Amino acid sequence: MSIVQNILDILRDEMTNRDIGRLKRVVIKNGQLAGVVTEAMQFAWEALTPGTSEFDGAKLEIVEIPLKVSCGKCGTEFTPDHNRYMPCPSCEEVLGHNVLEGKELYIDSIEPADPEE
């Protein structure tokens, strides 16, 4: 819940900056390692947004970003099948990889509601 609360606060600020009164759609990128379950976020959104003047009826779209790492030994970039056990496809090194993508959680885009709606 608190993460969605947080996102709603950021959205409110952003909407004020852009002079948007009501939101139609928001796209959020959710990395595989960000630690937030997409379904839980969707659930919290549906619990918190109805009846609010800014977000009532707005659609939350969550795009999941798969994990991408580069091998700490040979530098090969790959997407592991597993979050904790990540053998490199080139040299089979398991430890010391660098996470390139998949830790992030951010608002990707927002779409204002049509004025007449």
Q: Given the rule CB under 5 A, which residues bind Zn ion?
A: 71, 73-74, 76, 88, 90-91, 93
Of 6 and 98, which CB lies nearer to Zn ion in the complex structure? 98
Other CB atoms within 10 A of residue 41 CB:
20
In contact, 67 and 79? CB cutoff 8 Å: yes
d(CA 5, CA 15): 15
d(CA 9, CA 11): 5
The CB-of-96 to Zn ion minimum distance in angstroms stands at 10
Of 23 and 88, which CB lies nearer to Zn ion in the complex structure? 88
The CB-of-76 to Zn ion minimum distance in angstroms stands at 5
User: 3-class SS at 62?
Assistant: strand
The CB-of-97 to Zn ion minimum distance in angstroms stands at 8
Of 4 and 71, which CB lies nearer to Zn ion in the complex structure? 71
